[in-house]
């Protein structure tokens, strides 16, 4: 019998009966501190005590492939274990097996049994048995043999006491410091629990090289960083995931086109048959799409059907902050033109113009439905505007003794201008836009209750109204090359009184080459729009050439920034 001071025997290559017996033995006879010390030999006394205070050993897990569930339950009963509990679906292990063996997850009926085991001092523990039934002659026999030999899913699990993000990040950091590295994980909605898998360091003395941290509740934000660390160690998986990104784009766009999110709720679950009728879809095909959307965390499945997650709710047409129009644009015309990225890289020409014969502004303007979707897609990223009503320039204008005017140049349907006017009753607005957009902007600003304080100018950049106090260029300059940007900025400089301020909202390329959303958008602008993203120094040069100067830059949500600009001859603050 194994004691708390002995090193458990490694079990790879043995049959399921012997492996199961060894796992039960570990659960019955090992202490939390002993197992942690075996898993992470580099732990010193204080670190070990800190880990024991934050987590406790709760089970040993392994994957078995019995010919039948009846035989497995008989083996568990022979060890005095009750295995009558229903077998729960195993989301995480099923997906790991599918990826490892290049199989469809639908082919792998993996479930979980957790027969209770009494540990030392009467502690309640369990053996976590992942079950993939493999009857004689099954085509899954090779998978079973491989998994018994490699023990990919065998692990020792520790439950986190009082889990919160700070504790979880600290535990992950401690394991990494002592040579353990991320080895996957996931959130299981069937039991509302999050698992973090690690591979123990090479000098580990424990029976299993894998370690699991289990935290009750949904901790996918912390899990995301853990999984990213795991993916960086899996180059083939990383490349495969990136190469199939188009599938994700189209799955989300299909969800939006079908109105699937509008037929669902974030609270109550909706059954497959009901959803299929609501969106006029083939039920088996819709089930396959929903399974993929579940993997993307857009929907969650339970015994009663499917319900939206918080992210999935953003695909509803009328939800606050809906991103459905943006999804339709990226999965529609821009998706088609992005196929010409190679052409853009080779020639410097815009893929959109090559495919459709004209730039996207003109193409959309002649197609009212697309024009409306494009304008709505611009408003869908409006969360980046949240801090702007409190920007010092807007605050000063709003608090001034008399009315002040904000001129929104190419302001779309007025999403930003409406926010500024609603937050600052002393402000008046002027919106400059193309004629077909002005009509939509009137409706939008009237609906927001600020239309009475807004004037409209239909025209081009040469028509920038003079005499304003604050000018706004939001996501405009990145649509154009440097020459056209210079012209736009000179029109603004000519219209601005010497006291006026200009706020430029754009995504900035990082000076040090670090990852940033602007890098991806720069590729989009090159292929689909004909513009580009720029760094702050690049904007500084364009501003200087136009008789303007950059005062400062500050970050906004969604990877954006706001540049505060004044005329070069204006008094310095």
Largest CA distance in the chain: 89
Task: Bin 184: left if φ > 0, else alpha if -120 < ψ < 50, else beta.
Answer: left
Inter-residue contact 501 to 393 (CB < 8 Å):
yes
| Tokens 């994700």, residue located | 248
Answer whether 192's CB lies under 8 Å from 214's CB.
Answer: no
Phi, psi of 125 (to 5 degrees): -135, -175
Helix (H) or strand (E) holding 246: helix 245-258
CA neighbor of 494 nearest in space, from 465, 469, 518, 456: 465
- Kindly give the pairing relationship between strand 155-160 and strand 210-216: parallel
* Separation CA 59–CA 112 (nearest Å): 13
Alpha-carbon span 235 to 539, nearest angstrom: 36
The two three-digit tokens of residue 94, written as one number = 């099923």
- DSSP strand E in 247-315: where? 299-302, 305-308
- DSSP symbol at 111: E
* Catalytic annotation, pick one of 478, 491, 499, 564: 478
What token pair was written down for 362?
Answer: 């003109």
Cα–Cα dist 432/177, whole Å: 56
Residue 311: name the closest of 188, 242, 257, 319 by CA: 319
- Read out DSSP for 61-100? EEEE--S-HHHHHHHHHHTT----SPPEE-HHHHHHHHHH
Cβ 63 vs Cβ 93: under 8 Å: yes
Q: Which residues contact 71 (CB under 8 A, 6 or more apart)?
A: none
In the block, tokens 């085991």 appear at: 117
Which tokens hold the place of 473? Answer: 């260029």
CA 567 to chain centre: 40
Nearest residue to 412 (alpha-carbon basis) of 322, 474, 489:
474
Q: Which two tokens stand for residue 74?
A: 């008989």
Specify the pairing of strand 470-474 against strand 501-507: parallel
For the question of residue 524 being annotated catalytic, the response is no
DSSP letters along 414-479, please? SHHHHHHHHH-TTEEEEEEE-HHHHHHHHHHHHHTT-GGGEEEEES-GGGPPSS-SEEEEES-GGG
Q: Considering Cα of 486, then 492, then 498, then 504, what sign does the dihedral take?
A: negative
As a whole number of angstroms, the distance between CA 5 and CA 57 comes to: 16
Active-site annotation, residues? 478
């Amino acid at each position: 019998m194994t004691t708390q001071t002995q090193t458990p025997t490694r079990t790879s290559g043995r049959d399921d009966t012997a492996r199961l017996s060894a796992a039960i033995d570990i659960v019955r006879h090992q202490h939390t501190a002993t197992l942690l010390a075996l898993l992470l030999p580099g732990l010193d006394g204080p670190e070990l005590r800190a880990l024991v205070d934050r987590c406790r050993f709760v089970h040993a897990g392994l994957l078995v492939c019995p010919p039948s569930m009846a035989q497995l339950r008989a083996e568990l009963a022979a060890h005095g274990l009750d295995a009558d509990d229903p077998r729960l679906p195993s989301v995480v292990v099923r997906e790991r097996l599918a990826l490892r063996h290049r199989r469809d997850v639908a082919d792998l009926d993996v479930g979980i049994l957790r027969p209770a085991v009494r540990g030392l001092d009467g502690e309640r523990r369990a053996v976590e048995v992942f079950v993939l039934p493999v009857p004689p002659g099954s085509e899954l026999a090779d998978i079973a043999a491989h998994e018994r030999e490699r023990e990919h899913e065998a692990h020792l699990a520790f439950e986190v006491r009082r889990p919160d993000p700070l504790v979880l990040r600290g535990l992950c950091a401690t394991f990494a410091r002592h040579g353990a590295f991320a080895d996957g994980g996931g959130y299981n909605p069937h039991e509302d629990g999050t698992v973090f898998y690690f591979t123990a360091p090479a000098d580990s003395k424990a029976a299993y090289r894998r370690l699991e941290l289990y935290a009750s509740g949904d901790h996918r934000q912390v899990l995301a960083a853990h999984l990213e660390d795991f993916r960086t160690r899996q180059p083939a998986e990383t490349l495969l995931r990136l190469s199939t990104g188009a599938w994700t784009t189209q799955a989300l766009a299909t969800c939006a086109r079908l109105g699937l999110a509008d037929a669902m709720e974030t609270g109550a679950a909706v059954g497959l048959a009901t959803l299929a009728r609501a969106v006029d879809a083939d039920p088996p095909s819709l089930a396959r799409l929903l399974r993929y959307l579940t993997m993307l965390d857009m929907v969650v499945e339970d015994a009663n059907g499917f319900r939206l997650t918080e992210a999935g709710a953003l695909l509803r047409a009328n939800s606050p902050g809906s991103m459905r129009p943006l999804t339709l644009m990226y999965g529609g015309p821009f998706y088609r033109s992005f196929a010409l990225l190679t052409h853009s890289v080779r020639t410097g020409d815009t893929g959109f113009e090559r495919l459709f014969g004209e730039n996207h502004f003109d193409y959309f303007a002649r197609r009212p439905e697309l024009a409306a979707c494009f304008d709505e897609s611009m408003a869908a990223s409006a969360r980046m505007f949240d801090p702007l009503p409190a920007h010092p320039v807007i605050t000063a204008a709003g608090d001034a003794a008399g009315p002040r005017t904000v001129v929104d140049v190419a302001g779309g349907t007025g999403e930003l201008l409406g926010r500024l006017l609603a937050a600052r009753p002393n402000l008046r607005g002027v919106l400059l836009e193309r004629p077909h957009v002005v009509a939509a902007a009137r409706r939008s600003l009237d609906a927001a209750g600020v239309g009475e304080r807004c004037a409209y100018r239909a025209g081009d950049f040469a028509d920038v109204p003079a005499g304003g106090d604050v000018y706004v260029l939001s996501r405009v300059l990145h649509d154009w090359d440097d020459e056209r940007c210079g012209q736009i900025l000179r029109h603004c400089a000519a219209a601005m009184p010497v006291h006026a301020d200009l706020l430029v909202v754009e995504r900035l390329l990082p000076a040090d080459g670090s990852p940033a959303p602007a890098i991806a958008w720069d590729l989009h602008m090159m292929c689909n729009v004909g513009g580009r993203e720029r760094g702050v120094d690049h904007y500084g040069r364009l501003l200087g050439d136009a008789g303007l100067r950059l005062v400062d830059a500050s970050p906004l949500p969604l990877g954006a920034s706001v540049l505060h600009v004044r005329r070069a001859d204006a008094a310095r603050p």
